[in-house]
Chains A and B, each alone.
Chain A
Amino acid sequence: MLNRLIYILPLGVFLVMAVYFAIGLTKDPKILPSALLHKPIPEFTLPPIEGGPGNGFSSADLRGKGVSVVNVFASWCVPCRVEHPQITRLAALKVATVYGLSYKDKPKNALKWLRELGDPYAAHGADLKGRVAIDFGVYGIPETFIIDNDGIIRYKYVGPITSARLEKEILPIIKKFSQ
């Protein structure tokens, strides 16, 4: 009998693995959990990009003004360039205030980038040393955060936003927290 069980063992091991695969398939490997998810945003004040328009933005701007989106970008980041049209589209829809966090970028390059590709952001701030990004738990850019009216982080996405991602996830989540 025991002998028989040994022959069944490989099948058993495989079936357990298959169950895990099945569960794994239901998860999106691109969504990284953030320790800050469903937690308040960190306190910060960011200066504007040196030589650029605006006065920067701070954590106070993200509270009490409806849903906001913080998009972390840099001119040296190729995927950021890829997602830029989607960020522009999102800003044009006016469903949320879109802020740009210029991550470890030279002011000159960041401004050139905005001039070249267009500036969709309601305001941008320069995080020259990446300190605010660390507080946000930024992992690799581009990263995008959705923050509700109370300043709670509701969603985080790592990687370039595609048009499908924008329509199927970002917009519904913004809508959900806008009510």
Chain B
Amino acid sequence: MTAEIGHFALILALLMATVQATLPLIGAHKGYESWMATARPAAVTQFGLVAISFGCLTQLYLTSDFSVLNVVQNSHTAKPLIYKIAGVWANHEGSLLLWVLILSLFGSAVAVFGSNLPPKLRARVLSVQAMIAVGFYLFMLLTSNPFERIFPAPINGQDLNPLLQDPGLAIHPPMLYLGYVGFSMAFSFAIAALIEGRVDAAWARWVRPWTLAAWCFLTGGITLGSWWAYYELGWGGWWFWDPVENASFMPWLAGTALLHSSTVVEKRDTLKGWTILLAIVAFSLSLLGTFLVRSGVLTSVHAFATDPARGVFILALLIIVIGGSLALFAWRAPALVSTGVFQPLSREGALLLNNLIMATATAAVLLGTLYPLLLDAVGGGKVSVGAPFFNAVFIPLMVPMIAAMAVGPMLSWKRADLKPALMRLKVAALAAGAIMIAAWALVTDGPVMGVVGIGLAGWLFAGTCVELADRLRLFKAPLADSLSRLRRTPRAAWGMTLGHLGLAITIAGMTGAGAWRTESIQAMKPSDTVTVAGYTFTFDGASGGKGPNYSITEGTFRVFKDGQPVVTLNPEKRIYMVSKRPTTEAAIHTTFFGDLYAVVGDQDPSGAYVTRLYFNPLVAWMWAGVIIMVTGGCLSLTDRRHRIGAPAKRSVQNAAAQAAGA
């Protein structure tokens, strides 16, 4: 019965979305207020219906109802509770349900909190949002119904892929989807603006929080995935340029560009067409991510549903959504008038440079990801494009960008002078130089890129600090004056500062982990020792054990540095009972300068275990940097101007709010 309720609620949600996609749009065009007014209740009802549907699927998982195919394929009674819940979205059908749940959540958020939006814009935004939803509901109901029954019902399920039975991965997809789907808001606003033919500062101000929220979630989601790969796959790597990783990275790049260009629209009333295009592209790339994973066009370790029949549907959906919006863009965007003019050397110019580099980087990642597909389509055979290509293209693009990133915020709007900005950055240049020399002296045999990377991180960090000190007039004005400036700094400005500082720390971490890692792979017998990066690992053997739904081989390493005990590491190898599949659980000891990382593998006939021991420098900096970046994003999200909406409407709105409250 629960399955049928869930299914029925999904069908009702489709019907509700169809109403929401048409009536308000026509109403906005013809000026029928009552038609436009259907948008808000429709959006909220739609969310309620999907929530019921999602709740039903969760209930089916919790009760292990094996008369439902989806539960059979992805669950098992012995599975711990958290993975029964996570199992809901750790499969194709369920993850789509989560997708539409988040989509309708955002839609209803606009409906509930969007009181300060002009009614026409709001009606159009909600209609566009519902159009996307209609596509996804149809896709689910026609090709990927999560509520499909199976008869006869098996006694137990096939269990969830053991790699996915992990706390990091339980929250990774929802975060990622909040990011992906968050860009649908920017997209809907962009399409609504194109229909209306008007983009102004107020529009940019409404779009910004959505983009920012999506960006925060996507940043967090990508990092969670990377962190998971780092400790779960047992290779000590954190980024593999895998098609699915790229699929999440491309919207991030486009979204980051969008965040910056929307500032220009808001402050200077220019770059309108470009910003609209970025909003369309960011969401299109999110959709493409879905397409790449699910259609079977590109294979990847992540591809948990490859089915060409679904692929045809998704392709049709992509052509309608992306093709349609780009056609609308080609038709309407030339009419958008920009009033702001600026010199190439200005804050706008710097942001535009950021945008051009980000767009180029996005295009490069897209090309690398799709190249195997393109070549195969013209009969050129099968190839795979790996890390060497991406590193060779991506890193040289990022070097000038990071270099310019410290300068950009020092420039004034409209027209700037480079020389004083560079003079003020002398301190940062000195700091970067000193860090490079120190790095070079510490790691004499490391690659040149390591020194360059750490130098850039130092330059960006110091440059951002200089900009902050400048803004506060630190050491130039009395301390009290600086402190009062500190208090008056808008949260959005803090967001920028933290974002850039976080990125600097992340870059330092990526450089350390990428360029200076030490590894040692060998067969070890109990009481063998191996030295990695000055740490001595003594192997104490391995013992068997049992988890809730897996058996364990647990190795023990005692780690010493200069004869002093540092830590005892216990990596595990697990065999999941139902699927017989193994996973590795690396043991990681994090220190300020790097991670000690141990993996235990299979036993060979002589009784020795294959062990992999790593020292991964500065890995914790990567995660810490991202946390700072996301904190900056969240802080910027709470900026006053987002809470109060457009300044011109402030008094009217307050009055309205008081009237409503009275």
Contact = CB atoms under 8 A, between A and B. Distances in A.
A142 to B, nearest CB: 15
A117 interface: no
B373 interface: yes
B318 A29 contact: no
A25 B315 contact: yes
Contact of A11 (B326, B374, B377): B326
A33 interface: yes
A20 B377 contact: yes
Interface string A96-110: 000000000010000
Interface string A21-32: 111111111101
User: How many A residues are at the interface, by size bracket?
Assistant: 20 to 34
A28 B296 CA distance: 8
Interface in A1-55: 3-4, 7-8, 10-11, 14-15, 17-18, 20-30, 32-33
A78 interface: yes
Nearest to B605: A106
B580 A11 contact: no
A18 B370 CA distance: 11
A21 B382 contact: no
Nearest to A10: B326
B374 A20 contact: yes
Contact of B319 (A7, A18, A78): A18
Contact of A30 (B291, B299, B319): B299
Contacts of B581: 78
Interface string B586-628: 0000000000000000000100000000000000000000000
B302 to A, nearest CB: 13
A4 B291 CA distance: 30
Interface in B343-387: 370, 373-374, 376-377, 381-382
Contacts of B334: 3-4, 7
B298 interface: yes
B38 interface: no
B323 interface: yes
A154 to B, nearest CB: 19
Nearest to B582: A78
Contacts of A106: 605
Contact of A7 (B273, B284, B298, B299): B273
A7 B323 contact: no
Contacts of B318: 18, 21
Interface in B418-463: none
Contacts of B299: 29-30
B579 to A, nearest CB: 9
B100 interface: no
A8 B330 contact: yes
Contacts of A11: 323, 326-327, 329-330
A70 B581 CA distance: 26
Interface stretch (B81-89, B304-312, B394-402): B304-312
Contact of B373 (A3, A10, A24, A30): A24
Nearest to A32: B382
Contacts of B327: 11
Contact of A15 (B277, B323, B333): B323
A143 to B, nearest CB: 15
A46 B536 CA distance: 45
B213 to A, nearest CB: 25
A7 B295 CA distance: 29
Interface in A132-173: none
B26 interface: no
Nearest 3 CB-CB pairs, A to B?
Answer: A23-B377, A11-B326, A29-B299
27 contacts: A3-B334, A7-B273, A7-B329, A7-B333, A10-B280, A10-B329, A11-B327, A14-B322, A15-B323, A18-B315, A18-B318, A20-B370, A21-B297, A21-B318, A21-B373, A22-B315, A23-B377, A24-B376, A25-B311, A25-B315, A26-B308, A27-B377, A28-B308, A29-B296, A32-B382, A33-B381, A106-B605
Given A7-B334, A27-B377, 15 more contacts: A7-B329, A11-B326, A15-B323, A18-B323, A20-B374, A21-B295, A21-B297, A21-B318, A22-B315, A24-B377, A25-B296, A25-B308, A25-B315, A78-B580, A78-B581
